[in-house]
Each structure stands twice: as structure tokens, then as C-alpha cells.
């Protein structure tokens, strides 16, 4: 499958304007999707989150604004703007938005560190 662009090429876009938060809810928008993974922008209202689940792929959370508490394999991790957190494949994880939050979720179909030459 070739790259399926969800945003225009060669155009600088303000991440803040690509998603509209919903009061008391969660909004998401896929920005890019390929065979290798995808990039999704999320907006969580404060107090919202995702219950414990697993994914067959490694995922990276990049907090853009706000704050989240991730629970990964039972360990609580607080993430704020400018931080990135790896959630390993097949490990239970959950997310709680401490306040209104925007974040990028990067799903990788290959495990981090599995690239050629490593």
C-alpha cells in the first residue's frame, strides 16, 4: 500500500488547527497512514481518556499541549508538552488526560530498534 496522505504535501500546517476538541469528549484525525504505521492527532478534554488495552504495534505519544498520565504495564508516567513516551507492543496501557490535551500518536508496524543496520 502506498502512502495515503491525509494532509496536503509541502504545506506547513499548524497542528493546533487540524483538530477541534469536543467538550467532554475525544477527537482524532489521521494525518498520515502507510504500511509502516500511521500518525494520528488527538484532542482530549480534561478528564477523558482511553481504558486499558493492548496494541500489536509499538506506539509513541508526543504531547503537544496539556498533560496526560499514561499507565504502561501498571507504571504511571506523566507526560507534558515537549515529551515523548514509548508504549511497547502487546503491553497493556491506558491514558488519562489530566487537562485538555492535544497529542500525536505514532503507530509503528516495526518494533523500535528493529530497523536494518541495528
For residue 65, the cross-strand partners are: 102
> Which element (helix H / strand E) includes 62?
strand 58-65
Global pTM?
A: 0.87
> 101: exposed, middle or buried (C-beta count within 10 Å: 0-12, 13-18, 19+)?
buried
pLDDT tens by residue, 70-110: 999 999 999 999 999 999 999 999 999 999 999 999 999 97
Interacting residues of 114 by C-beta distance below 8 A, sequence separation 6+: none
Domains and CATH numbers, the chain: 25-108 (2.60.120.10)
Report pLDDT digits (tens) over 13-46.
Answer: 999 899 988 999 999 999 999 999 999 999 999 9
Cα separation of 75 and 88, whole Å?
13
Joined grid coordinates for residue 105: 500518536
8 A C-beta contact, residue 55 and residue 89: yes
Amino acid at each position: 500500500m502506498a502512502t495515503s496522505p491525509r494532509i496536503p504535501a509541502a504545506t506547513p500546517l499548524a497542528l493546533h488547527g487540524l483538530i477541534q476538541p469536543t467538550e467532554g469528549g475525544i477527537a482524532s484525525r489521521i494525518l498520515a497512514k502507510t504500511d509502516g504505521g500511521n500518525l494520528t492527532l488527538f484532542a482530549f478534554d480534561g478528564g477523558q481518556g482511553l481504558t486499558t488495552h493492548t496494541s500489536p504495534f509499538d506506539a509513541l505519544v508526543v504531547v503537544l499541549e496539556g498533560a496526560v498520565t499514561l499507565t504502561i504495564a501498571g507504571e504511571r508516567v506523566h507526560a507534558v508538552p515537549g515529551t515523548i513516551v514509548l508504549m511497547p507492543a502487546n503491553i497493556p496501557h491506558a491514558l488519562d488526560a489530566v487537562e485538555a490535551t492535544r497529542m500525536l500518536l505514532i503507530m509503528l508496524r516495526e518494533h523500535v530498534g528493529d530497523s536494518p543496520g541495528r
